[in-house]
C-alpha cells in the first residue's frame, strides 16, 4: 500500500471512534512553531567573541556548526525543507548582522542590523520572533543584568530591551505577522542571598522602563520567561516563576513557560490549563530537560505529548505561542532541529487524532476504567499512517527519508566547514 492508501485505511479506523483525520491534518497545517535559530551554532551568535555565559551550557563539538549568517541561513533553509508546514524563525539579538566593519553594541542595535534576516524571512514567507540577549556579554557584571545594583550596567540592559522592542516592531511591520519578543535574564546568585527583594525590585523597575516606550501591542507580543536555577546560579533566580507570572499578569504581557525551568517533577503540561483560565495568551519554550535544564532535543515523549494535548483539547491553538528551545552540540545540528520540529508536530497531531470529547465524557461520568483502557488502545492506532500522509501532502520526506538528506548535506556542506 502506498502512503495515501495507508492513510485511507487509517482514516476509517479513526472515524469509527469519531475522529476526523482530514480535519486534524488541516488543523496541523495551520500551526506555526517558532524555530529557534540558536540550535545551529550552539548559541554563539555573531556579535561577541567570548564564551556562552548566563548559566546555560552547550555540550559537544560535532563538526559543521554554522559560523556565519550565510551558513546559518542555509542550514535553517535545509531544516525548513524537511519539516512539513510553514513556521516562524526565532532570533536572538546576538544574531545581529554587521556589514562593512560597522558594529553596534547591544544597547545601540537597530532594525537595519536585522535587515538580512527580514529579507530571508520574506523570501521564505515566514514571520520572525525575537529575544533580547542578556548573556554572553562583558556588561553581564557579577552574573547580573536588569537586576544589577550598578546603574551603568542596569541602564545598558534597559536600553537593550528598548532597542529590541523597536526591532520586534520592525519585524512585525515588514512581515505583516506579529512578533513575539521574549525576555529572559540569567540573573541570580550561586549562594544564599542576603537580600532577595532588592534584585527583584530592580528587575521590576527595569521591565517597567523597557515597556514604557511606545509600541504597538498588537504587533509586538512581549513575553517574560521564568527560571528556577542556572549553572553557577543555583541558590536564587531573580526571574522566578512567581515573579514572572505576577509581573506578566499585572502589566499586560505574556507569561512564557520553558519546560526545562522547573523542578524535575513539576510538569508544564499540568500548568497550562491554570494559565489559560487567567490569561488570553500564554507562551511556551518546549525543550527536554534531562535531570536539569539540559536542553536536549525534543522527543515524541510523554511530556511533549501531554503539552500538545493540553493545547489541543483546551481549544487553545490560537492562544499558545509555541516555540522550541534546545541546543545540542553533540550531534548533527540539522538533524537535531528536524527531529525536534517534527516531534512537536507529531505530538500535536497525536492530540488532534485523539477522541478528546469522549475522553472528557468518560472522566466527567467517573468511567475511569474505560478511560484508561481507551487511552492505552489509542497508543497502537495507525497514527504513523496519518503522520506519513501529512508529510507527503506537505511535500517533505516521509518516514526516515529526511535523514538521508541530512547525511547528504553533511557530506556536501557541513563537512567542508573547518
Ligand atoms: C537561548 C534562550 O533564550 C535561552 O535558552 C532561554 O530561553 C532559556 O531557556 C535559558 O535557560
Ligand atoms: Mn527557554
Mean pLDDT to the nearest integer, 297-316: 98
User: Mind telling me the catalytic residues?
Assistant: 184, 225, 227, 258, 261, 285, 293, 295, 325
Q: Are strands 34-36 and 236-237 parallel, antiparallel or unpaired?
A: unpaired
Q: Per-residue pLDDT for 347 more than 80?
A: yes
Q: Is residue 76 within 8 Å of 121, Cβ to Cβ?
A: no
> For a substitution probing ligand 1, which of 182, 184, 186 has the most ligand atoms within 8 Å of its CB?
184
Tell me the binding residues for Mn(2+).
261, 293, 295
pLDDT in tens, 376-388: 999 999 999 999 9
> In this structure, what is the dihedral angle of CA atoms 269, 274, 277, 282, given to the nearest 10 degrees?
-50
Give residue limits of the domains in the chain.
31-353
> What is the percentage of the chain residues whose pLDDT exceeds 70?
100
Tell me the binding residues.
261, 293, 295
The owner of cell 542576603 is 194
Q: Ligand 1, closest atom to CA 38?
A: 1
Q: How far is the CA of 227 from the centre of ligand 1 (A)?
A: 9
Provide the CA 59 distance to its chain's centre, in angstroms. Answer: 19
Q: Are strands 34-36 and 88-92 parallel, antiparallel or unpaired?
A: parallel
Sequence-distant (6+) residues with CB within 8 A of 247 are 204, 207, 224, 253
What's the mean pLDDT when you consider all of the chain? 98
Ligand 1 pocket residue status of 131, Cβ below 6 Å: yes
Q: What is the pLDDT of residue 418?
A: 77
Ligand 1 pocket residue status of 129, Cβ below 6 Å: no
User: H-helix or E-strand containing 130?
Assistant: strand 127-131
Ligand 1 pocket residue status of 184, Cβ below 6 Å: yes
Q: What is the pLDDT of residue 293?
A: 96
Q: Is residue 177 within 8 Å of 121, Cβ to Cβ?
A: no
Q: How far is the CA of 184 from the centre of ligand 1 (A)?
A: 7
* CATH code, residues 31-353: 3.20.20.150
User: How far is it, in rounded angstroms, from Cα 63 to Cα 330?
Assistant: 9
Q: Ligand 1, closest atom to CA 287?
A: 9
| Nearest protein CA to atom 10 of ligand 1, as residue | 56
Q: Per-residue pLDDT for 300 more than 90?
A: yes
| Nearest protein CA to atom 6 of ligand 1, as residue | 184
Q: How far is the CA of 22 from the centre of ligand 2 (A)?
A: 33
Mean pLDDT to the nearest integer, 73-92: 98
Confidence label for 73 from pLDDT (cuts 50, 70 and 90)? very high
Other C-beta atoms closer than 10 Å to the C-beta of 263 total 8
Ligand 1 pocket residue status of 293, Cβ below 6 Å: yes
pLDDT in tens, 230-241: 999 999 999 999
Q: Is residue 266 within 8 Å of 259, Cβ to Cβ?
A: no
User: How far is it, in rounded angstroms, from Cα 308 to Cα 31?
Assistant: 12
pLDDT in tens, 187-220: 999 999 999 999 999 999 999 999 999 999 999 9
Q: Ligand 1, closest atom to CA 131?
A: 3
| Nearest protein CA to atom 2 of ligand 1, as residue | 325
User: How far is it, in rounded angstroms, from Cα 38 to Cα 66?
Assistant: 10
Interface confidence: ipTM more than 0.90:
yes
Mean pLDDT to the nearest integer, 295-309: 98
Ligand with minimal distance to 186 CA = 1
The sign of the torsion formed by the CA atoms of 370, 270, 321, 390 equals negative
Q: How far is the CA of 229 from the centre of ligand 1 (A)?
A: 12
> What is the percentage of the chain residues whose pLDDT exceeds 90?
99
Q: Per-residue pLDDT for 291 more than 80?
A: yes
User: How far is it, in rounded angstroms, from Cα 164 to Cα 215?
Assistant: 11
Ligand 1 pocket residue status of 41, Cβ below 6 Å: no
Amino acid at each position: 500500500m502506498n502512503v495515501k492508501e495507508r492513510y485511507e485505511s487509517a482514516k476509517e479506523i479513526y472515524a469509527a471512534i469519531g475522529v476526523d483525520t482530514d480535519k486534524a491534518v488541516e488543523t496541523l497545517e495551520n500551526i506555526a512553531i517558532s524555530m529557534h535559530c540558536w540550535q545551529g551554532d550552539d548559541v554563539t551568535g555573531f556579535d561577541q567573541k567570548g564564551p556562552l555565559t548566563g548559566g546555560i551550557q552547550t555540550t559537544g563539538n560535532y563538526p559543521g556548526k554554522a559560523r556565519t549568517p550565510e551558513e546559518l541561513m542555509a542550514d535553517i533553509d535545509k531544516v525548513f525543507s524537511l519539516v512539513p508546514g510553514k513556521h516562524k524563525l526565532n532570533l536572538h539579538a546576538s544574531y545581529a548582522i554587521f556589514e562593512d566593519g560597522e558594529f553596534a553594541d547591544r544597547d545601540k542595535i537597530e532594525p537595519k542590523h536585522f535587515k538580512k534576516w527580514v529579507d530571508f524571512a520574506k523570501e521564505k514567507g515566514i514571520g520572525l520572533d525575537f529575544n533580547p540577549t542578556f548573556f554572553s556579554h562583558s556588561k553581564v557584571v557579577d552574573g547580573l543584568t536588569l537586576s544589577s545594583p550598578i546603574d551603568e550596567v542596569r541602564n545598558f540592559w534597559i536600553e537593550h530591551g528598548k532597542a529590541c522592542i523597536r526591532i520586534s516592531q520592525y519585524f512585525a511591520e515588514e512581515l505583516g505577522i506579529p512578533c513575539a519578543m521574549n525576555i529572559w535574564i540569567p540573573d541570580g546568585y550561586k549562594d544564599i542571598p542576603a537580600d532577595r527583594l532588592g534584585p527583584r525590585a530592580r528587575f521590576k523597575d527595569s521591565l517597567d522602563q523597557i515597556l514604557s516606550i511606545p509600541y504597538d501591542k498588537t504587533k509586538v507580543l512581549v513575553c517574560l520567561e521564568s527560571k528556577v536555577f542556572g549553572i553557577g546560579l543555583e541558590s536564587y533566580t531573580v526571574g522566578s516563576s512567581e515573579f514572572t507570572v505576577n509581573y506578566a499578569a499585572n502589566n499586560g504581557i505574556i507569561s512564557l513557560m520553558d519546560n526545562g525551568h522547573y523542578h524535575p517533577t513539576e510538569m508544564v503540561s499540568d500548568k497550562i490549563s491554570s494559565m489559560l483560565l487567567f490569561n488570553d495568551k500564554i507562551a511556551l519554550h518546549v525543550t527536554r530537560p534531562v535531570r536539569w535544564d539540559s536542553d536536549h532535543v525534543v522527543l515524541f515523549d510523554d511530556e511533549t505529548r501531554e503539552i500538545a494535548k493540553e493545547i489541543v483539547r483546551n481549544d487553545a491553538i490560537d492562544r499558545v505561542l509555541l516555540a522550541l528551545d534546545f541546543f545540542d552540540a553533540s550531534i548533527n545540528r540539522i538533524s537535531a532541529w528536524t527531529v525536534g520540529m517534527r516531534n512537536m508536530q507529531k505530538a500535536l497531531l497525536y492530540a488532534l487524532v485523539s477522541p478528546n470529547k469522549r475522553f472528557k465524557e468518560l472522566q466527567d461520568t467517573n468511567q475511569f476504567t474505560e478511560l484508561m483502557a481507551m487511552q492505552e488502545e489509542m497508543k497502537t492506532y495507525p497514527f504513523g499512517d496519518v503522520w506519513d500522509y501529512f508529510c507527503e501532502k506537505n511535500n517533505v520526506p516521509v518516514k526516515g527519508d529526511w535523514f538521508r538528506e541530512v547525511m547528504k548535506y553533511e557530506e556536501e556542506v557541513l563537512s567542508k566547514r573547518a
